[in-house]
Structure 1
Amino acid sequence: MPRIVIALCLILIVAAGKLSAQDSNNPFLKSNPMIDTLEAQLARATSNTDKVKVLGELAEFSVGANRKLSDEYSAQQFRIAEESRDRSLIIRAHLSNAQRLYNLSILQQNITQGLSASRKALSLAKASHLPEWEAWANMYVAIGLRLNAEFDEALTFNNLALSLATASDSDSLKVFAFNAIANTYMRKKDKMLAFRNYLAALEIAERADNFKLLKNTYQNLSAFYASLDDYERAKDYLYKFVAITKRFDKKLDRLEAYNGIGRVYTQAKQYDIAMSFYDRAIALADTMKFELIKLNSYSNIVDMYFNSNQMLKGLQYLNSKPELKAFVENAGFSHNIDQAYGAMYISLNKLDSAEYFLKHAEPSFEKTGSKLSLFWFYANMSNLYNEKKDYKKAVAYTFKQKAIADAMGDMELMKTTAQTLDSLYQKLGDYKSAYAHSHDYYVYKDSLEKLSTEKDLMLLEVENENKRKQRDSILEEQAKRDRHNIQYMGITAAIAGVFIVLVMLGIFSVSHATIRILGFFAFIFLFEFIILIADNQIHHWTHGEPWKILGIKIALISILLPLHHYLEEKVIHYLTSRKLLDINKEALLAKFYNKKVAEADSYSDSKSNSFKAD
């Protein structure tokens, strides 16, 4: 367990690696295309709205590598928003500040400060009667509470956000509100409700066809399926994420997608494929000349070695990437690197080295660590002293773990500490205490096994829900197709009717102008209908690519336009011919006369026969 924890800590830090800034004391941060782009946008910005937006992004991107610079950007953003007296800009500045702090939630002070900024935004939004901003602020408060493991309170704010979002016309607000409440349900282990809200978000995002909304929903659904150990579906959504990065030309996001796919393959223990995706991410970062972003892939590779129990390879790889260690240390998280070395040295049975690194990291973890990061640090300390056979110290650190697990109410963590305490007390010969903790362990184990059974049922429910949605989608598509077919039949009948009327006019002495006008509209009607039918097939063939559609339409019009003019001219000329009018009229009258004569003869014969019979 501790080995996985170390890698997770590195991922969290380096995930903030994309939140980085230029720093003269940090040579590998000097070339950062994202910061350069944002700085250029800031120089061009003229409105307060644009300035606040770009400064928020700069603050967010710099928080991981240069907190002081990030604070300066944030302060400048807030100053511009305040001086504008625009309430929406002030709220945006508070929420932007909360977002950058939440991005580094391994520090408890960041969670606390982010929650404070979110509450300020919420208070101002309520006072200013801005319901959409109130919804956003409620979501940000919920994030902070969720990070603090206060799930029930977080759910209250999520519900408030969702009720406001559903009353608005903003697709973006609705998608994020559904995803946010789903994330809280996930932390509460209520996965069915989480899944339904993710599906609601997906439906809106796909209808809007917006990159940011699709990305957010695909990532959430991938994480959802990974939590159920359904890695194939988890991969499906990340591959969809890759597809939209290509469609919308989002290379930076594609790096994120490749790393995400690599992590899912790591979870599925398909390490070779995982490495191939990390290599793709590194290669793409090279083409973008974005050295810093490669740190995400490096940390994922370290994580992969830890998960595959290749600790020595993990240590060697970490040592081979001095830029990774330099970044983490420059960001003020050197204690996480110390913890990584400590855990690896425990695995390699170099206990004195492990103790040196872990004791060096301890003060920083206890001062700044979030609840979860501190829990796993204490797990490493307990593991160290267990290996050193100093069981009393191991027990002391495990009780520190237990206090955090109990406060968070996380049954998995509580089970872990109960099992460790049972084992340690047995080694100390205190069998009474060992029995008590063993009892707790089995209580938690039984509860988790029940949840595991529920997880199997959940997979069935999720499958049924997917099938239901597929059936609904098929029925909706069929109804749409039937509706379109009826419309096509109606249009076809109307066109046929127009041409019948046109031919009928050609039989009688109608003015040339009338025939020409009706003929003009008849042929416009016909050829536009042909183009309408062709359009659907063209979009199907080209998958909506504009240049292909343009090329096919040019070719089609070059054929149809002269054909249109030729047929229109010939038909109208034929119908307006005076000779034709006379011939047609005489023929029609002759037919009518012959029919009347035949009817009269028939009537006369019947009368004659009747007389003879009498």
Structure 2
Amino acid sequence: MHIITTLLALFACLGAIAQDVAKVKKFEAAIGGATTDEEKISAIIALAQYYAVFHLETRADSLTHKALTVAETSTDSNLVFKILFQNDINLINIWSSEETINRSMQFIKKGLALAQERGRAEYAAIGNIKLSGLYRMQGRYDDALQQATEAFTNLDKLQEDSLKSMLYMELGDIYKSKGDAVPAYKNYNNAFDVAYKLKAVRLQSDIYHRYVDLYRLFGDDESAKKYLINSLRMNTDHGNELGLYNDYIDLAKITDEEAYIEKAETLADKLQSDRYKLAVKRLRYYLLMTKGRNANETFQFLFKNKDLWSYFKNMGPVNSFWQYGNIYHYAGQYPQALHYFSLAEKALENNSDADMSLLLYKAMGEAYLMHGDTIKATGYFEKSFQLARQLNQLNELPEISKKLGVLHAAANKHASAYFYALQVDSANTILQANAAKDKVALLQIDRENSNRQTDLRELAVQASRRRNLQVMFITIAITVIFGFMLFLGLFAVSKNTIRVTGYFAFISLFEFIILLIDYPLHNFTHGEPFKIWIIKIGIIALLVPIQNFLEHRLIAFLE
């Protein structure tokens, strides 16, 4: 055990490394072998994205600026925008440092300024949406809304409906982060309506997942699961593998079902994405840690998957020690857990991350309590209590206050015990009031959803009615054409007239047959052009001889 402890501490303090040296060399070879600026930039960006997946932000930034230098000297000005607005170079998340977020912000601002200077409204709108997302992550909601407003101004100059859908999603995300569920849901509905009209399956799938997050915010996992099943069916029908991967990942998070993880893993391998493969491993790791509760098995999984190991290590000592401590904590090995939590606490001294401090202090309080050290447990729970109040984390207060009340009562500090008992009642009262508001909000969301489903059904009925009317009209028109041919046969008309009329009639008939099978054909092939092309060649190969045979027989009969 001491050997493992020493190794873990050593590895946590080592510098950041990439997961696969051979893969890095392959990326570098692609950069060296590029023959055009576009190929070189694509290869550089691919390596930057690889580094970003493993939280090697400094290397990713360096490569991004290298790509930008190549683009700025290129004759193709669009290459600059491709880099400045690349989606996946910086994978920002809750663990991203303020420095990383600020670097990303400066990069996007540079692109936004260039887009405005060159009059590229579409790129300016993308820049506004991305900046809005970064401001939202920082809790700067007014700045985020300002960027969203500017994005609407830029989109007014364009007919880019897909960007409008993305903008409505961002607005929904802002309101969700603020705790305003109803306007969040309305904006998601607006985004979905735009995506639905565009038949943009990927956008629709993204919005389904936002509905999922919204319902899970209220603890309604059943409704969330229904949206995921809707997304799963849609993505299956259209062969959207990336959408299916996201569906299986979220279904696994809700249900803890191994089958969903296995399907996500299969798709990650098929997509050949380091990012998605790593996400599956992270999910397995967290389930193994929290459900398996066996430290040796969890560490074996971590050691076996070097990419996962690198991912956590590259996030810095605080996160590495936090992970190790949690592995032991869930396994009930509290002395080892406290050792790593203490190392994380020391590493956190140079970091002003209050949210992380709250998580750590609470975990240390629980570990000391389970270990039987009530004095230190009390100290860390009191630190947690102060931080929770400072951060307005009301959900944390009842549990922390209850434990402090019990600890102070056991120490015969009755005044303190009474104080924390009052804090429990006060926090629960506020939470109950908030729960009532949430219930009202959820009812409003359900009403909005019901109205929207009614509208969608009406639109579907109208579309079906239009289609049926058009099919009926075509059927009548073809019948009239054949009737007209038979009518012509009663008179002495030239053979050429009969042949032309017959040719037109059969072309109309068989094109109508192709039209009728077109929609089920697209569903069957998931819209893949090659499959559609092969099947239509086969269908036409069958229909053309039949057409020629029937056409000649009918013309011979009329003649």
* TM-score (normalizing by structure 2): 0.78
Instruction: Say which SS state the counterpart of residue 395 (structure 2) adopts.
Output: helix
Aligned to 1:185: 175
Greater mean alpha carbon deviation, residues 347-356 or residues 61-70: 347-356
**Which of 469, 475, 497 pairs up with 1:486?**
469
CA distance change for structure 1 residues 145 and 481 in 2, over 3 Å: closer, same or farther?
Answer: closer
1:144 aligns with 2:134: yes
* Aligned alpha-carbon RMSD (Å): 4.3
| Contact 1:97 1:114 (C-alpha < 8 Å) held by counterparts | no
Deviation at 1:544, TM superposition (A): 5.1
Equivalent position to 1:55, from 44, 48, 53: 44
Residue 160, structure 1, aligned to residue 150, structure 2 = yes
For 1:465-476, what aligned pairs fall within 5 Å after superposition? Answer: 465-476=448-459
1-side partners of 2:248 and 2:319: how far apart?
A: 25
Question: Following TM superposition, by how much is the alpha carbon of 1:449 offset from its aligned partner in structure 2, in angstroms?
Answer: 2.2
Per-residue CA deviations over 1:40-99 (Å, capped at 9, x if unaligned) read: 378446245x65455344323203254443233123123234445988655654555995
Question: Separation in 1 of the partners of 2:332 and 2:498?
Answer: 99
Q: CA deviation at 1:148?
A: 2.1
- CA gap of 1:61–1:502, structure 2 versus 1, over 3 A, is same
**Conserved in 2, the CA contact under 8 Å of 1:406 and 1:414?**
yes
| Count of residues paired in the alignment | 541
> In the aligned structure 1, how far is the partner of 2:90 from the partner of 2:136?
16
Contact kept, 8 Å, 2:141 with 2:174, in 1: the verdict is yes
CA–CA distance in 1 between the matches of 2:409 and 2:266? 52
Q: 1:474, 1:338 → 2: CA distance?
A: 53
Residue 224 of structure 2 aligns with which residue? 234
Post-superposition CA distance 1:281-314 (Å, at most 9, x none): 5566678898896553343234224544x53x25
Which of 342, 357, 365 aligns to 1:359? It is: 342
Instruction: Give the whole-Å Cα distance in 1 for the aligned partners of 2:439 and 2:537.
Output: 55
| Deviation of the 1:186 alpha carbon | 1.6
Provide the rounded CA distance (Å) in 2 between the counterparts of 1:82 and 1:43. Answer: 20
Is this contact kept in 2: 1:105–1:370, CA < 8 A?
Answer: no
Q: Secondary structure at the match of 2:90?
A: helix
Tell me if the contact between 2:248 and 2:264 (Cα under 8 Å) persists in the aligned partners: yes
Give the gaps of 5 or more residues in structure 2. 1-15
* Distance 1:372-1:532 versus aligned 2 partners, 3 A rule: same
Residue matched to 1:342: 325
| 571 and 306 in structure 1: CA distance in 2 versus 1, 3 angstrom threshold | closer
- 1:219-230 equivalence runs, <5 A: 219-230=209-220
Shift in CA distance, 41/520, structure 1 to aligned 2, threshold 3 Å: farther
Q: Distance in 2 between matches of 1:506 and 1:479?
A: 41
Contact 2:85 2:123 in 1 (8 A): no
The aligned counterpart of 1:317 is 298
Question: In the alignment, what sits opposite 1:30?
Answer: 21
- CA distance change for structure 1 residues 564 and 236 in 2, over 3 Å: closer, same or farther? same
Q: How far, CA to CA, are the matches of 2:419 and 2:528 in structure 1?
A: 67
Asked if the contact 1:418/1:438 (under 8 Å) is kept, the reply is yes
1:304 aligned partner: 287
Deviation of the 1:327 alpha carbon: 1.5
1:216 aligns with 2:212: no
For residue 192 of structure 2, the aligned residue among 199, 202, 205 is 202
Matches within 5 A, 1:17-416: 28-30=19-21, 32=23, 36=26, 40=30, 43-44=33-34, 46-48=36-38, 51-52=40-41, 54-63=43-52, 64=54, 66-83=56-73, 93-96=83-86, 100=90, 102-103=92-93, 105-162=95-152, 164-165=154-155, 168-210=158-200, 212-238=202-228, 257-266=247-256, 273=257, 275-282=258-265, 295-308=278-291, 310-311=292-293, 313-314=294-295, 316-322=297-303, 323=305, 326-328=309-311, 330-346=313-329, 351-368=334-351, 370-386=353-369, 397-398=380-381, 401=384, 405=388, 408-413=391-396
Aligned partners of 2:329, 2:493: CA distance in 1, in Å? 102
How far the C-alpha of 1:164 sits from its partner, in A, is 3.7
CA contact (8 A) 1:175 1:204 kept: yes
Range moving further from structure 2, 212-221 or 421-430: 421-430
Structure 1 residues 251-260 or 52-61, which shifts more? 251-260
Would you say the 8 A contact 2:358–2:387 is kept in 1? Answer: yes
**More displaced, 386-395 or 138-147?**
386-395
Instruction: Identify the range of structure 1 (208-217 vs 74-83) with the bigger mean alpha-carbon deviation.
Output: 208-217
Mapping of residues 526-605 of structure 1, within 5 Å: 526-536=509-519, 538-539=521-522, 553=536, 556-558=539-541, 560-576=543-559
Give the drift of 1:424. 5.5
1:525 equivalenced with 2:515 (yes/no): no
Query: Displacement of 1:331 after TM fit?
Result: 1.3
The alignment partner of 1:411 has SS state of coil
For the pair shown, the structure with the greater C-alpha radius of gyration is 1
Question: 1:453 aligned to 2:436?
Answer: yes
Normalising by the residue count of structure 1, what TM-score does the alignment of the two structures yield? Answer: 0.72
- TM-aligned CA deviation for residue 134 of structure 1: 2.6
For the Cα contact (< 8 Å) 1:185–1:194, is it kept in 2?
yes
More deviation, 102-111/416-425:
416-425
Bigger mean CA deviation after superposition, 332-341 or 119-128: 119-128
Q: How does 1:497-508 map to 2 (within 5 A)?
A: 497-508=480-491
Tell me how far apart the structure 2 counterparts of residues 222 and 45 of structure 1 sit (CA, whole Å).
Answer: 45
Question: Structure 1's 165 and 439: CA in aligned 2 closer, same or farther, altered over 3 A?
Answer: farther
Give 5+ residue unaligned stretches, structure 1.
1-22, 267-272, 577-614
C-alpha contact 1:255 1:284 (8 A) present in aligned 2: yes
